[in-house]
Structure 1
């Protein structure tokens, strides 16, 4: 993947301190339908992605058409509970504004100008639209920052590929760097722990709480092919549990949003909710791989899993909010941007070099 991006060249316009004068930060996110009539084309774009349906065309096109047609009605009913559209864009816009403000207030970037853009993968504004806006901004450096803390070939890699194609199409030639992952970045971890603590204390009135760190699942075969997503999710869960500092904390990481007949990684969140009911313990569901509220948090967790918990006999259910614009999270993102700008690598992790074990071939960084 690093071959898709170029390192900062000697011709880059810089401040007296050596930093680029004009930086474009592009936030990657999934996207979501902005109206009821957008549900089906949004689903088609999702399932037509070769990173999601790993078949050649015309088979992928046919399957995407079939699935989007079948899922349009139930998906539309989900978005109807959210006012007929996904709130993801509005939430991402708020994060972009907060990040731009944090970067602009940093005295270390004096003399430099930073603007934050949004590129959604499956609905507007998509990479083609955003790449044109970034080109008009005429940056000296582009930093690609996914709002997926854990790297996956199905999310960050897919978005990076779409961006590279869009940038090439519009003639955006500015040096570009990708921040590939930040599963244990301190700002992200501490912000999540900060949101959990008061809710955990409230849940203690109903027994000893169990914390379910829930992430979007993946088919097992994707992970078996070398995708590091599950490994990174496990590191996220461990880090948040440690940051909470609660003695003898009862916690587990699990996975939600399974679709289709394939076997997915586990344990599943719904199975863990049923187990909590059998054990008679209150639960907190923490969306550890989602940083913005959308259908998977506001409907799947808040509505569907809450209902399941009631049926399963769970004495108390709490959905922990996503980090959103929590100051700690935004400051963490700003630190990642500054680190990426200052670094020399075209693809970097939260600590610069590779964090994944060498057996994960899907990691975008070279093996040690």
Structure 2
């Protein structure tokens, strides 16, 4: 009798504080902002800023923002990620019954960690492991940070490991995004697609992130049948004084009402799960900014989270990576 093939899947996201407290936020920010993939300037310049200015003061403010969105089961990112893990496990078992699957969750920063997830899959006896970072658009600040950790875990074990680098133009991803918009975009509204920003310098150094974001936005607009004046894209979450990818979302929130765009629908196609940057920064801060400057209606469309169309897309990616 032929042995059943065992496939391990590691879903990866950025990570989250374990509690909406200054202590937990400080631990998370310390790990996140110490990564050279995220902040690539000289450690001699950066570490005094990180430990002398950011970590002593910023965690309190960030913790207060987390408290606004914290769920009974934990941070939204963790709650949605756990739901994704559970639903993907069930869908893989149902749709590929001839194989055995185990889905684990790993965070680049914090717990459960990537090493914990890989070790669990190896202990289970996975013949092959697929690592799926839930970043549709590749960036060295995100996907390469995952690859760095995987490289540190490499050994001579028998498991074959495959990293899915991106899926920014995957048809099932574009379709899932389009389905999330359907019925939520009034004729008089403009669709604003907001992506997380990165410094422009990173793109000039070869990071493909901006090009991939633009491709996603164009494919989605085409899928929805939107004319050019009915949609736009922008970048959010910039920090510091360095020039980041433009246009800046917060600036567009002020400018759009002046351009007689009073009704907008905002979505974040680069976020696979709702988190601080979508629920607090977008749905609260930028909503207030838009309405305060003359906007009339601001609608935020949830991230794909554990929607069935999102789970099916993940299954499609995994089957393709495994040649199933």
TM-score in same-fold range (> 0.5): yes
Match of 1:122 among 109, 112, 115: 109
Tell me how far apart the structure 2 counterparts of residues 151 and 193 of structure 1 sit (CA, whole Å).
21
What's the counterpart of residue 174 of structure 1?
A: 159
- Structure 1: 4+ residue segments shifted above 3 A: 55-64, 246-249
Q: Is the 8 A contact 2:9 2:132 kept in 1?
A: yes
What's the counterpart of residue 256 of structure 2?
A: 276
Q: Is the 8 A contact 1:218 1:258 kept in 2?
A: yes
Tell me how far apart the structure 2 counterparts of residues 338 and 262 of structure 1 sit (CA, whole Å).
41
1:144 aligned onto 2:131:
yes
Give the RMSD, CA atoms, in angstroms. 2.0
Quote how far apart the aligned CAs of 1:163 are: 2.5
1:99 aligned onto 2:88:
yes
Structure 1 alignment gaps of length 5 or more: 1-13, 344-368
Tell me how far apart the structure 1 counterparts of residues 183 and 319 of structure 2 sit (CA, whole Å).
31
What's the counterpart of residue 329 of structure 1?
A: 310
Across the two proteins, how many residue pairs are aligned to each other? Answer: 318
Quote how far apart the aligned CAs of 1:173 are: 4.8
Q: Give the SS at the match of 2:214.
A: helix
Q: Is the 8 A contact 1:127 1:162 kept in 2?
A: yes
Compute the TM-score of the two structures, normalised by the length of structure 2.
0.92
Q: How does 1:276-295 map to 2 (within 5 A)?
A: 276-281=256-261, 282-295=263-276
Tell me how far apart the structure 2 counterparts of residues 232 and 220 of structure 1 sit (CA, whole Å).
14
Structure 2 alignment gaps of length 5 or more: none
Quote how far apart the aligned CAs of 1:249 are: 5.2
- With 44-53 and 241-250 compared, the bigger mean Cα shift is at 241-250
1:195 aligned onto 2:175:
no
Quote how far apart the aligned CAs of 1:74 are: 1.3
Match of 2:233 among 235, 250, 253: 253
Q: Give the SS at the match of 2:165.
A: strand
Q: Give the SS at the match of 2:239.
A: coil
What's the counterpart of residue 47 of structure 1?
A: 33
Match of 1:230 among 210, 228, 242: 210
Quote how far apart the aligned CAs of 1:314 are: 0.9
Deviations 1:307-363 (A, max 9, x none): 0011111111011111112222211110110000118xxxxxxxxxxxxxxxxxxxx
Quote how far apart the aligned CAs of 1:274 are: 1.5
What's the counterpart of residue 301 of structure 2?
A: 320
Compute the TM-score of the two structures, normalised by the length of structure 1.
0.82
Deviations 1:260-302 (A, max 9, x none): 1110011011122222111232111110100101001110011
Distance 1:137 1:224, change over 3 A: same
What's the counterpart of residue 346 of structure 1?
A: none
- With 267-276 and 62-71 compared, the bigger mean Cα shift is at 62-71
Tell me how far apart the structure 2 counterparts of residues 114 and 80 of structure 1 sit (CA, whole Å).
36
Q: Give the SS at the match of 2:138.
A: coil
Distance 1:129 1:61, change over 3 A: farther
Q: Is the 8 A contact 2:192 2:231 kept in 1?
A: yes
Quote how far apart the aligned CAs of 1:40 are: 0.3
Quote how far apart the aligned CAs of 1:83 are: 3.0
Q: Is the 8 A contact 2:10 2:118 kept in 1?
A: no
